[in-house]
C-alpha cells in the first residue's frame, strides 16, 4: 500500500486506521521517504491474523530503512530488530536500556516525556538484535505514534550517534568518513 492509498484509508477511530494515517502524515511531510505498508502476505512470520497486524517500511534518519509493526491484540507499536549486533551485557546495551528508561523520567520537560498513563516502552532482545515495543494504553494511538517516533529519533540522534558513533558506522552504515 502506498502513501496515496493510505490517504484513502477511511477515517475512523479504528486503531489501525489512526496509526496508518498518522504515519502517512510523516511521509507526506517528507520526514519519511519510500513509505509503504507491507502487504499481509509478505509480513514477517507471525501467528497473528492479518486483520490484527500491520507492518510499514520507510526510509528515515540518514535514509536508513525502518520497519514498524502494529499488533492490535497486544496494542503494541514495535520496531523489530531496531538495534542489530548488540552484545548482551555490553556497556552499550546497559547505556541504551538506561536511556530508554529515562524517556519517562519526570526530569524531562513534559513535551519530551512519555506519559506512562498513555504509553510504555519495552526493550527486548532476540539473538543479537534489540527491539523496541511501545505499549499503548487505552486508545491513545495518535499520541503513541508520535511519542514512539520521537523516542526512536532521540535514541538514534541524541544517544547512539552522540555516544556510540562507531556502533552506528559499523552496524547501521551511517556515513562518517569513507
Partner 1 sequence: MAKASMAKAGERRGQSRRNFLKGSILSATGALGAAKMAAAVASSTEAPIRLPEAFPAALNAPPKPAEFPMRGSQVFAKVCKNEGLSALFCCPGNYDVINSICDEGIPCFGGRTEGAMCAAADGFIRVSGEIAACSGTEGPGFTNMIMNIAAANAARTPLLVLASNKRVSEDDSEMGIQTAYQQPTTEGMRKYGKRLIDPNRVYEYAAYAFRQLRTGVPRPVHLDFPAEVYGAKFKDSSELRYYYEKSRYRTEARPYPDPKRIRELAAMIDKAQRPIIVASTGVFYSQAWDAVKLVAEKADVAVVESGVARGQFSDAHRLSASPAPGALLSADLVIFVGQYSMPNVGEYHFGPDARYVRIDPDASDIGRNMPIELGIVSCEKAAMEALHEAVGSKRRDAWADELAAERKKFEDENAEYYKTGLGYKDAVHPAVIAQQLSDFLYRGDIAKEQTTVVAGGYGIARYTRRYLRAYRPGQICNGAYQYGAIGPDCGYAFGVSAAVQLGAGAQAAYRGTPIIGITGDAGFAYSGMELETMSKYKMPVVMIVYNNNAWGIQGSGRAAHMYLFQENLRYDKIAEALGARGEYVTRPEEFLPALKRSYQIAAKERVSTVINCQAKREFWQRAQYPPGFLGKVEPGCMAYDH
- Positions touching partner 1 (CB under 8 A) are 26, 29-31, 33, 60-64, 91, 109, 111-112, 146, 149-150, 153-154, 156-158, 161-166, 177
Of the pair 49, 165, the CB lying nearest partner 1 is at 165
For 82, 91, 160, the CA distances from 163, given in Å and listed in that order, are: 17, 11, 5
| DSSP β-bridge partners for residue 2 | 36
Of the pair 30, 89, the CB lying nearest partner 1 is at 30
Of the pair 22, 43, the CB lying nearest partner 1 is at 22
CB 99, min distance to partner 1, A: 13
CB 42, min distance to partner 1, A: 26
| DSSP β-bridge partners for residue 129 | 126
Say if CB 58 and CB 66 are below 8 A apart: yes
Helix axes 15-28, 141-153, angle to 10 degrees: 40
CB 19, min distance to partner 1, A: 15
CB 61, min distance to partner 1, A: 3
Of the pair 31, 137, the CB lying nearest partner 1 is at 31
- Residue 142 φ/ψ, nearest 5 degrees: -60, -50
Q: How far apart are CA 134 and CA 145, in angstroms?
A: 9
Amino acid at each position: 500500500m502506498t502513501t496515496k492509498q493510505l490517504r484513502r484509508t477511511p477515517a475512523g477511530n479504528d486503531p489501525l486506521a489512526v496509526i496508518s494515517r498518522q504515519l502517512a502524515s510523516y511521509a507526506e511531510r517528507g520526514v519519511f521517504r519510500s513509505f509503504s505498508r507491507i502487504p499481509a502476505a509478505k509480513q514477517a512470520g507471525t501467528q497473528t491474523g492479518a486483520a490484527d497486524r500491520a507492518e510499514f517500511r520507510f526510509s528515515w534518519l540518514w535514509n536508513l530503512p525502518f520497519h514498524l509493526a502494529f499488533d492490535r491484540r497486544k496494542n503494541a507499536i514495535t520496531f523489530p530488530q531496531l538495534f542489530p549486533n548488540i552484545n548482551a551485557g555490553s556497556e552499550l546495551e546497559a547505556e541504551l536500556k538506561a536511556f530508554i528508561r529515562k524517556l519517562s523520567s519526570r526530569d524531562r520537560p513534559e513535551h519530551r516525556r512519555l506519559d506512562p498513563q498513555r504509553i510504555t516502552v519495552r526493550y527486548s532482545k532476540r539473538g543479537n538484535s534489540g527491539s523496541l515495543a511501545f505499549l499503548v494504553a487505552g486508545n491513545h494511538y495518535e499520541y503513541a505514534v508520535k511519542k514512539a517516533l520521537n523516542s526512536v529519533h532521540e535514541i538514534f540522534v541524541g544517544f547512539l550517534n552522540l555516544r556510540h558513533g562507531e556502533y552506528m558506522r559499523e552496524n547501521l552504515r551511517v556515513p562518517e568518513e569513507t
